[in-house]
Amino acid sequence: MKRYSAFAVAREALRNNTGWERAWASPEPRKKYDVIIVGAGGHGLATAYYLGKNFGITNVAVLEKGWLGGGNTGRNTTIIRSNYLQDASAAIYEKARSLYEGLSQDLNYNIMFSPRGVMMLAQTQGEVRGFERTAHANMLQGVKTEFIGPERVKQLVPIININGPRYPVLGAIWQARAGTARHDAVAWGYARACSDMGMHIIQKCEVTGIEQSGGKVTGVNTTRGSIGCDKLGVVVAGHSGHVADMAGFRLPIESVSLQALVSEPIKPCMDVVVMANTVHGYMSQSDKGEMVIGGGTDGYNNYTQRGAFHHIEETVRALVETFPMVARLKMLRQWGGIVDVTGDRSPILSKTPVENMFVNCGWGTGGFKAIPGSGWGFAELMAKGHSPLTEAFGLNRFYEGRFIDESVAAGVAH
């Protein structure tokens, strides 16, 4: 792999850009791999990358039914933060956030991480107390957040209306080192690094069955033939239930559509991410100038990747209330992704009833921010059988009633 650098840009400028090579290879699948990862989204590719980097396992295939990063990795609102209440959540999300800080250098691929700060507004007394509690918990966890008053909110976000008619802004929890990154670049960067380690990324290869023998996984059936493996990692977000069904067990997961929209591009007007959970809206401005807006989930199971129309109205209504200037904006595009929501709204990184088969799912509405941490922990779980990062996220917690009591992946605003 040729490294990307300022020197490479200069060199290619002199030879009419003829020297760039493909970022990753598209090989034919082998008969067997040590590890197969199903799903070439951010979490799947990150898992493969850390299997190679941290554990030297490079005989790995990442299978993808569509195209690389075309699922929720390319459909989210790119927010990265780690201001969670519970220790288990804070640990894995903070690991992810800290890895994001150095990821461009690590992958030699510009993922455009922008630590611009994330603010979650407190608009009721209950939220004020909740966020103060979270800020205190974060202090103990070593996650740098602070609770700020309405004047500071207005100073950081001049376009906000802090004296709203229904819910005036009473304060906010502010994580200055949180921010956004280019979602596609995260998938592409990991893919390029995986391919460089000799891993196979096989697109347009849908898994249609799981081969087992004596309660152990032995391979997968795909639209490009049968492929053997020693270990199988299923990282397919909204389709996790569907793949688990092939292996003969059920997951505590329901799939729903979550939507997002962007406005026409405008001049820079807001350089932080703002979430208003009480009125259900959140917004940030992309580098292109579009206002990126997160919508709500549908109220029923579905696999449609579009989202119910009336949720757009609810989201936009909330934003107009919080940022009056939004009323003058035209919306450009709207889309949806299928999110996998678990019984306690926290992710699952776990062994399964089938030996040597692992699942990484349930990230629901908030998976993008966790990609590097999730890949790091899940790779350790697959390689060693246990990981301190994923310990609390096992499937057994649903049997034991040991839930992670916070809405990591609640309906909106994550």
Partner 1 sequence: MLILTCPCCGVTGEETEFHGGGEAHLKRFGPGSTDEAFHDYLFSKVNPKGVHLERWRHNNGCGKWFHAARDTVTLEIYGTYPAQTTEPPQSVKDAITAKRPGWSWREFA
By beta-carbon proximity to partner 1, the closer residue of 239 and 351 is 239
Stretch that binds partner 1, among 55-63, 252-260, 266-274, 318-326 (CB under 8 A): 252-260
- End-to-end alpha-carbon separation of the chain, Å? 36
Read off the tokens for 221: 């059936």
CA diameter of the chain? 64
Based on the shown chain and the rule CB under 8 A, indicate whether residue 304 belongs to the binding site for partner 1.
yes
CA 203 remoteness from chain centre: 20
The CB-of-31 to partner 1 minimum distance in angstroms stands at 29
Cβ atoms 5, 200 nearer than 8 A: no
Based on the shown chain and the rule CB under 8 A, indicate whether residue 65 belongs to the binding site for partner 1.
no
By beta-carbon proximity to partner 1, the closer residue of 178 and 220 is 220
Residues paired with residue 285 on neighbouring β-strands, in sequence order: 291
What does R_g of the chain's alpha carbons equal in angstroms?
21
Residues within window 388-407 making contact with partner 1, judged by CB under 8 A: 398-399
Three-class DSSP category at 368: helix
> What is 165-180 written as a DSSP string?
SS----EEEEETT-EE
Q: Which amino acid is at 350?
A: S
The CB-of-220 to partner 1 minimum distance in angstroms stands at 18
Cβ atoms 78, 180 nearer than 8 A: yes
Distance CA 230, CA 228 (A): 7
The CB-of-53 to partner 1 minimum distance in angstroms stands at 34
Q: Residue 233: what are its φ and ψ, rounded to 5°?
A: -115, 120
CA-to-CA dists, residue 64 to 36, 67, 71, 158, angstroms: 11, 6, 10, 43
Stretch that binds partner 1, among 155-163, 218-226, 248-256, 363-371 (CB under 8 A): 248-256
Total chain residues near partner 1 (CB under 8 A) = 22
- Find the binder of partner 1 among 6, 15, 125, 300 (CB under 8 A): 300
Torsion of CA 13, 14, 16, 22, to 10 degrees: -60
- Find the binder of partner 1 among 226, 254, 320, 334 (CB under 8 A): 254
Based on the shown chain and the rule CB under 8 A, indicate whether residue 377 belongs to the binding site for partner 1.
no
Based on the shown chain and the rule CB under 8 A, indicate whether residue 7 belongs to the binding site for partner 1.
no
By beta-carbon proximity to partner 1, the closer residue of 7 and 309 is 309
Read off the tokens for 72: 């929720």
Based on the shown chain and the rule CB under 8 A, indicate whether residue 253 belongs to the binding site for partner 1.
yes
By beta-carbon proximity to partner 1, the closer residue of 82 and 257 is 257
The CB-of-308 to partner 1 minimum distance in angstroms stands at 7
Distance CA 251, CA 108 (A): 37
- Contact pattern from residue 227 through residue 246 relative to partner 1, giving x for each residue in contact according to CB under 8 A and a dash for the rest: ------------x-xx--x-
Residues within window 117-176 making contact with partner 1, judged by CB under 8 A: none
Based on the shown chain and the rule CB under 8 A, indicate whether residue 101 belongs to the binding site for partner 1.
no
Stretch that binds partner 1, among 60-68, 156-164, 273-281, 297-305 (CB under 8 A): 297-305
Read off the tokens for 169: 């802004």
Kind and range of the H or E run holding 350: strand 348-351
Based on the shown chain and the rule CB under 8 A, indicate whether residue 303 belongs to the binding site for partner 1.
yes
The CB-of-219 to partner 1 minimum distance in angstroms stands at 22
- Find the binder of partner 1 among 136, 310, 384, 386 (CB under 8 A): 310
Q: Which amino acid is at 76?
A: N
The CB-of-343 to partner 1 minimum distance in angstroms stands at 4
Task: Count CB atoms within 10 A of the CB of residue 303.
Answer: 12
By beta-carbon proximity to partner 1, the closer residue of 335 and 398 is 398
Q: 């005036």: which residue's tokens?
A: 168
Cβ atoms 80, 100 nearer than 8 A: yes
Stretch that binds partner 1, among 2-10, 84-92, 307-315, 369-377 (CB under 8 A): 307-315
By beta-carbon proximity to partner 1, the closer residue of 189 and 307 is 307
- Contact pattern from residue 330 through residue 369 relative to partner 1, giving x for each residue in contact according to CB under 8 A and a dash for the rest: -------------x--------------------------
Stretch that binds partner 1, among 28-36, 102-110, 219-227, 251-259 (CB under 8 A): 251-259
Distance CA 37, CA 235 (A): 7
Given phi > 0 = left and psi -120 to 50 = alpha, else beta, which region is 229? beta
Q: What is the binding site for partner 1 (CB under 8 A)?
A: 239, 241-242, 245, 250-255, 299-304, 308-310, 343, 398-399
